[in-house]
A and B are shown apart, each in its own frame.
Chain A
Amino acid sequence: MVQAVNRPAIPESQHPYADIIHRLEAGGSMLPDTPENLMQIIGIYKAYAVPMDFYWRDLLYIAEKVFLNPVPAFKYFISKEYLDRPNSYAGDSADLRIWRGEADAHPELREFMARGETGKLPKLAHHLWHDRVNMEFAEACMRAMLWHQGMGGRFYDYLESDEYVANADRAIKAYFKGNPAMLGLYKLFPTMFLEKVRELSYYANLGLFWEVMAPVFFEMSDLYDEGKMTTVPEAMDFLVNGIFAVAGRPIYHHLYIGDECIEIIPKSAGFTWLYEAALPYVEAVFYRTAPFRGTKSYNAQAGQVPEQQKDFHYGILYADVFPVGTAGIPPTLLMQDMLHFLPDYLREYYDEHCRGDDDILIQLGITFQRSMYNVTSAVIQALRGALLYPLDDPNPRHRQANRQFFESQMDRFLRPEARLRDIQRRDYR
């Protein structure tokens, strides 16, 4: 009976990625369903979730507290309040409990913040020695969202609205109250200050986005450890359900000066996690970003950089992980962050392959690429579910609409830089 329902109601796809499209139509992921792939992606989700637990807290700390500090030298020195801040999707006080763990900063994160790689040293020493969580990566993601903009949702339009400008003006004046020098500068260069506040609104946006993803990844890791997550499609479906569950979470930007809260973007503006954060994030960070300085020279006049921002293809789904494995480059900063929190099984796996510990950052970077193809699959399936039809819809016209949607998504991976073909192979590492 099930087979009868799943029998294709439409002819096979003729798309170059027809095999992957048929897999998506059968409820699968772009990433092949193998135990090895599952082990890799779950391990890396866990290793990603720990630094992400720092990223979201610090992004909100910067957006809500550091704000327009003209010399934000200590913006990565997150306050105790923000380390203890309960995650809205973990712990007993959760709005919706996604992870069974506690709501404050993850114990492995606290341990790493105290000791780093070098041992117990003053916070400043860890910071200057760069033995810490690389917030620069989080800021690079935030800047990608700020710079690309116009990727759906209403967030960007709102940042240009009179209401936003008035709220930002109120926030700037309140923040610099009693500081005639900064208020004088604001009078001279109002749009510069306003643009900085817009950037800070993207800090808040990304912080609220990642506040959700960290517990999602922790829960997936726990389920895998308990033997309750056994296939790649199950991992994808967990993400799809997570996307729907929190789709309506408000995206806002509040500023705290002492006990006073100034709503720069109020919750009542109606912005949602799915439309104003998740979808723009995936577009800006997974697909587009920008060429990373210091990795490769591009000649824009020779057309080596696309004319249109929508055609940018420097995200993880297109990354040649090896050349970007260089110090100070955002993806490498993330790989370095994840390295500290790898589960034992993944570390042992890398030791057995390639050059073991010597190229572990490359290996885990490629695992990360596999894992993000799975997250992107979840986003594609969630969009299909939200905007189109069930996979077992008996109506051929509906099936064809799903097919066209999947094919248009796969068109984005036709360019030679895409790694979709590579992640089908086991020996791509």
Chain B
Amino acid sequence: MFKKVLVANRGEIAVRIIRACRELGIDTVAVYSEADRRALHVRYADEAYLLGPAPARESYLRADKIIDIARKCGADAVHPGYGFLAERDDFAAACADAGIAFIGPKPSSIAAMGDKAEARATVIKAGVPVVPGTEDVGNMTDEELLAKAPLVGFPLLIKATAGGGGKGMREVESLEEMPTLLQSARREAESAFGDGNVYLEKLIEGARHIEIQILADTHGNVIHLGERECSLQRRHQKLLEEAPSSALDDDLRLKMGSVAVKAAQAVDYVNAGTIEFLLDKDNHFYFLEMNTRLQVEHPVTEMVTGIDIVKEQIRVARGRTLSYKQDEVKFNGHAIECRINAEDPYNNFLPSTGRITHSLLPTGPGVRVDTGVYPGFEITPFYDPMIAKLIVWGETRAQAILRMRRALEEYRIVGVRTNIPFHQTLMDSHRFMGGQYDTRFVEERFSMEDAAETGENNNEIAAILATLVAHREAERSANIVNRNERDASNWKWVGRWERMHR
């Protein structure tokens, strides 16, 4: 058994890992940046060590310092969480070199799945379907791409090799319009990344983003824990996940699960990992990529399977076999996770920073909140805006939605703006309720304003509330300005003022 685990992360995921360790009787070590001295993971851990200044590259990305601390404090293992160093094969290798267990896959698997072209080539060999395209072919000239295009099929996407964030991306409907679009895509890629190389990929219309959770041990056992539906995204950031997906039936689940297991076996995978697929309207699915780490949205799988994924990760890292065989994995009910971000949904989702002055968490049956913040904690601009994950379980999808509605309304956070109203609006959307959505839904067919027009209207109550607050404010400032003109005595006035602020 490990005696001491160092958690090389921050925020809710560091807290999540510390909780698993605590329950297993393992001591925990937190590392933190100067901005996180008062963070919850530091308060919950048995030991805590300062890494450096707030920016991640000077703190949470300092692999050398983290390994140094692990050695000095005698940690047996390092859990990287997600983000930061989680998918860096050099970090995993450096841990192994230092004689510290890395709670995650082998460096070679991280490397194989980290390079997109290599990952594609590897899974194709294992018989896993991929989105038709030219990414693995290497750089091609315009003439070559135009010749290849009909084979890929229209509509297709031109994507920048060095790309990301939609830069250098073009949708092509036909061969005729392709030369012009190629030129503009190359120009945009050149100016954004200094690399004008592009490749083609078939455009999957109405696609859903479905991922399969994998667990694998060092004894050759690989199982899957079913799917997560992650189609609700904005700017390629997931906002809401659920399990199971309303787009899958048992047959398709079985098929995608076994393909995911094959993909993991192709890179000799160990520990927890996730295979991401695109699923089209005709139930064809295509491998997108593998995330070689614990996922943000792992709790929805935990809620429907009852399996503690983090504990399994620790178990596997100790060289034990998995606690479950495939036929022992049972799915029960439905789970939904809403990512609560410090963003203002009424102001173009701009990040919101500041001190959390008040927070009231939703509780009650079937509700789980994973968070790293509390009243008095300062949300800084240095890290991810996700401050909490609200997860609910229900016997059916409908019950989970009703429960999520209830929990969102209970959740109070004051001090920063959050996207809770966005999730509330989403819960009321008919398309969401009907499970009728794809990866473009939030960006193309959803708006806070439209939803507001059809929803419940409380104009009059809002008017009373605002007037009462405005009236109080006016009275207070009038009292301050006219201090010497008060008709009542000062004592009487103080009494009134206090009553008003009780």
Bind each other: no
Chain A residues within CB distance 8 Å of chain B: none
Chain B residues within CB distance 8 Å of chain A: none
